[in-house]
Amino acid sequence: MVTTDEAARACPACGVFSSFRKGRVVTRPRHLPCGGRPVAIRRHKSRWRCGESRRERGSFTERTAQIPARMRITEPLRRAAGAAVCDGGRTTVQAGRDLGLSWPVVHRSFTAYADEVLDDTAAVADAIGIDETRRGKPVWKQNPGTGKWELIADAWHVGFVDATGRRGLFGQVEGRNAASVADWLSAQPAAWRKQVHYVAIDLCATFRAAIRTALPGATVVVDAFHIVQLAQRHLADLRRRLTWKHHGRRAHKGDAIYTVRKLLRRNKEDLTPGQLVLLKTELTQIGTYGRHIHEAWQAKELLRDLLRLTARHAHVTADRSAISAARYRFQSICADRPHLPELITLAETVDQWRDGIEAYVTTGITNAASEGNNRLIKLEARNAFGFRNRANQRLRSRCATTRRSRRQPKPG
């Protein structure tokens, strides 16, 4: 292979085209295989002498965009290595094995490719989701001056995603605190922050405080899954506490509470008439404690009835009066049973997040996109057998969760 591009003889220091050939050099750069077979390249390139009187360098060799100077690997091979990690979902080690490259070369190719294809600014979205994911262990270091231990690297990463579209992960920030979340949101352009009308989160007061600081005009939407999960957890705690009071031990096979323990976690609409009768009959046989457990299960179902007022379940958006009536029915059954502290705690939590719950019922926005991205992030970390560098971890997470967003639709 020889170079026919005239721009290859331009001096990299002054840019003047040289006409004084000093000699020739033969190199053997590595290239992509063709048809499953390796390609051997022998490149004959000239060494030119700079003709400027005030030259900064005496001589230089030819360079092209495909094979820059002092590079033993062609640009298509580097780009293929970066695309294999960024778009192909392969690990750095596997991409190096497939292409015959070392780990440092593949990693540099990946970072260069990711900087090219990933957008630094987040796409405009009407609703975003915020959620945290944990990977690894925190790193602490003792300050020799004060003797106190300081957090160097946090195991928690907070991600910002498109809650209603398919743009994937906008970015991540290390540390699960209100300051770090508010700083990331405040660093975005004013036009982007103005377009965000809804923010979907779980029952995290830290995120809510950060949203009020950085996005005062946005509405907080509480994810329904976490509300039902909280209700199920309180119901399970109440069942265990009353079981210990009644039997003085855990439930065993043959006990009435053991028979219906799985039915208590089921949704009411998923139970058959026979299972509903079995649930009530077995709990009634226990006595007072069984009736308390059945009342807690009814409270959980009333909370689910409130969450099912969305247009997806009710086929029509509920008004505020219907939402208030459903919330009142749930609050009433909890308030009438002060001897059940689990229900009182659940009712207090629902009352504290009533605005976010109402926003969920009226909009139907969930944080499912954040949960799906967290699954991809954890899968990426497992494939890589963990990350030692947190910056590389965040970069790989963005690539794993935004590959589909870079596929441009074909023109019609």
CA–CA distances in Å: residue 273 to residues 270, 279, 292: 10, 10, 21
Element (H, E) at 399: helix 390-402
Amino acid at 70: R
Question: Can you give the pLDDT at residue 412?
Answer: 39
What domain range is 109 assigned to? 76-117
Same domain, 243 and 173: no
Q: Are 268 and 294 in contact (CB under 8 A)?
A: no
Domain-embedded: residue 152: yes
Structural domain contains residue 410: no
248 and 354 both lie in a single domain: yes
Task: Give yes or no: residues 255 and 288 share one domain.
Answer: yes
Q: Do 341 and 357 fall into the same domain?
A: yes
Residue 412 inside a domain? The answer is: no
**What domain count does the chain have?**
4
**Residue 411 forms part of a structural domain:** no
Quote the tokens at residue 365. 């926005």
> Do 245 and 342 reside in the same domain of the chain?
yes
8 A C-beta contact, residue 100 and residue 111: no
- For residues 254 and 343, membership in a common domain is answered with yes
The answer to whether the CB of 86 falls within 8 A of the CB of 110 is yes
Per-residue pLDDT, 153: 77
Q: What is the CATH number of the domain that holds 188?
A: 3.30.420
> What does the pLDDT read at residue 326?
93
Residue-wise burial string across 160-190, b where 16 or more C-beta atoms lie within 10 A, e elsewhere: bbbbbeebbbbbbbbbbbbebbbebbeebee
Both 255 and 343 in a single domain? yes
d(CA 180, CA 394) in angstroms, rounded, equals 15
Instruction: Let me know whether 243 and 328 are in one domain.
Output: yes
**What is the predicted pLDDT for the residue at 408?**
43
Residue 180 belongs to some domain of the structure: yes
Beta bridge partners of 199: 128, 220
**What are the DSSP calls for 316-363, one per residue?**
S---HHHHHHHHHHHHHHHHT-TT-HHHHHHHHHHHHTHHHHHHHHHH
Determine phi and psi for 139, rounding to 5 degrees: -110, 120
Same domain, 155 and 169: yes
Cβ neighbours, 10 Å, residue 119: 12
Same domain, 245 and 352: yes
- Per the CB < 8 A criterion, the answer to whether 307 and 224 are in contact is yes
Find the angle CA(233)-CA(234)-CA(239) to the nearest 5 degrees. Answer: 100
- Residues 48 and 26: their CA atoms lie apart, in Å, by 14
Q: Which residues of the chain have pLDDT under 50?
A: 405-412
Residue 111 located in a structural domain:
yes
Lookup result for tokens 């590959």: 403
In this structure, the chain runs to a length of 412
Residues 6 or more apart in contact with residue 280 via CB below 8 angstroms: 294
pLDDT in tens, 112-127: 998 888 877 777 889 9
Burial of 344 (0-12, 13-18, 19+ CB in 10 A): middle
Same-domain status, 234 and 346: yes
Report if residue 409 sits inside a domain: no
In the sheet with 127-134, reading across from the earlier edge strand, the strands are 169-174, 156-162, 127-134, 198-201, 219-222
**pLDDT value of residue 411:** 41
pTM, two decimal places:
0.80
In a domain, 122, yes or no: no
What are the tokens at 113? 């490719």
The answer to whether residues 201 and 228 belong to one domain is no
